[in-house]
Amino acid sequence: MADWQEITGGITAPRGYQAAGITAGLKPSGLPDLALIFSEVEAIAAGVFTTSQVKAACVEYCRQRLQAKQSARAILCNAGQANAATGTQGYLDTLESALAIAQALNISSESVLLASTGVIGQRIKMDALRSGIPKVVAALSQTGSDAAAGAIITTDLVTKSIALETTISDRPVRIGGIAKGSGMIHPNMATMLAFVTCDAVVSPHLWQQMLARAADRSFNSITVDGDTSTNDSLIALANGQSRTPAIIEWGAEAEKLEAMLTAVCQHLAKAIARDGEGATCLIEVEVTGAHDELSARQIARTIAGSSLVKSAIFGRDPNWGRIAAAAGRAGVPFEQENLQIKLGNFLMLENGQPLQFDRAAASAYLKKAATGAYLQQDTVLISVNVGNGYGVGKAWGCDLSYDYVKINAEYTT
């Protein structure tokens, strides 16, 4: 059983945080497009960012900020323009954005982190941003998580948020998070943004380590379409307002905090994968028997990212051969005669040998997932065993539908 419980409140559930989301006129649609997360005190800050060689200005800015100072008080996120591949002027726009929000909050610009999402190659609409900053600051609220979650999305069909609570040193500790992402999603992060708040006291070095491991087991284990973006950002704040003793080294309390952080990240990651553009179901792949966790995750990610596997799931075709082929090309050695494949409860391959199974029932299992409750009964489970090792890993993806092509063919038109 998990040593925490789900609570309401999203990113404002932890103590000492406020958030807001407004319409500033950045999106042509007129939908909310400017979000702000604010800690009432300086918070330890950690980040994981895109591995793409083409990085948005906000990513370069945040990396430099966190190298110089592992703390922050504010995260400002605009939606509508990615401000990626925008040259020197795009970076100057980022600096101006940080200074403007810092002045409005009466804090140092060194305590501001930034994120952007939208169309690559388009600069932020600075006039709209300038006029929106006083409004988003005025809208800050201890119940503003939902508004912020709604202001960071682009092609998402739903907002994504979660909050969990545990007990450390007999005091409640909370972690909340919001995220956006639907397409351009692939391991090593993707067109996704995620913001996490926590009220524990934790050392900067340990917090960064925890976040990196949580990212590997969540956001770096999802895939929608095989494309990695220019703007991926996962930023986590820990402001210490729970008043618990400081966690400065690895131990039981650090382990508990990291486990809850990972659970928050995994929930948000699965929500992103389920919301994949045109998707009708979530795919969860679990690989066991590998040499180590990294090898297991690599096989799982390859299966979850296979266009042929994803297409078969959308077609409600229990074509286990595509799963076997994807596992085999993952770059992880294993003996073919050890391979086992299950789709839900249907055992299809055992010891490398095909088995008879009820194809109609297996197809019905896939059809049922497409109509199941969101993130509950809408998940297709693929279980793969590759040997006798101790490595276990999971990855998440979604099916590949006709609508994915339509959505992305018309993205800028």
Give Cα 246 distance to the centre of its chain.
27
Residues 6 or more apart whose CB falls under 8 angstroms from that of 106 comprise none
Distance CA 398, CA 413 (A): 25
The Cβ of residue 41 has, within 10 Å, a number of other Cβ atoms equal to 12
Q: Strands (DSSP E) along 147-264, which ranges?
A: 160-168, 171-180, 193-198, 233-238
CB distance 394 to 383 below 8 Å: no
Q: Which one of 154, 166, 191, 228 is the catalytic residue? A: 191
Instruction: Determine how β-strand 34-49 pairs with β-strand 17-22.
Output: antiparallel
> Which one, of 324, 315, 412, lies nearest residue 369 by Cα?
315
User: What is the residue-wise DSSP string for 1-14?
Assistant: --SSEE-S-GGGSS
Is 280 designated active site? no
CB 269 within 8 A of CB 283: no
> How far, in Å, CA of 262 to CA of 237, rounded?
14
Residue 41, classed as helix, strand or coil, is strand
Q: Which residues contact 243 (CB under 8 A, 6 or more apart)?
A: 171, 201
Dihedral-angle region of residue 76 (phi above 0 means left; psi in -120 to 50 means alpha; beta otherwise): beta
φ, ψ for residue 150, nearest 5 deg: -75, -20
In this structure, what DSSP letter does residue 413 have? -
Q: Name the token pair of 199.
A: 């009220």
First and final C-alpha spacing in the chain: 48
Residues marked as catalytic: 191
